[in-house]
Amino acid sequence: MTALLQPHGFTRIKGGTLYPLLNRLDDQGLVEHTWQHDQAGPGRKHFTLTELGRQELERSGTAWRRMSEALTQIQTPWPRTRISQTPTPRPPPTEGGAFRR
């Protein structure tokens, strides 16, 4: 899994980060695992998305795209008015305080 993520910029993922995440997803029913036994080494867990996991992936992907679009719009330059370098003079306070009725 880490080999699949590396070309996408996730180069520092360690098993200590990945496996607890996969176990939580498994507990939530978003993935399921099977053991693959190998005579040359220890067995490995093979994780697969469940139908619920596919639905959550779709929902999360939609939410991520919306957030990305919103952030892109915020970063898009818009016409700005120049702010004066000199402050606007304020009138002196009135008797009885600044707030009169």
Spatial separation of the C-alpha atoms in residues 25 and 18, rounded to whole Å: 11
> Would you tell me how many other CB atoms lie within 10 Å of the CB of residue 83?
5
Q: E strands along the chain, which residues? A: 31-38, 41-49
Model-level pTM greater than 0.85? no
Domains and CATH numbers, the chain: 2-75 (1.10.10.10)
pLDDT in single tens digits along all 101 residues of the chain: 888 888 999 888 887 888 899 999 999 999 999 999 878 888 888 999 999 999 999 999 999 999 999 998 888 666 655 555 666 666 666 665 554 44
**For the stretch 43-61, what's the b/e string if a residue is b when 16 or more beta carbons lie within 10 angstroms of its beta carbon?**
eeeebeeeeebeebeeeee
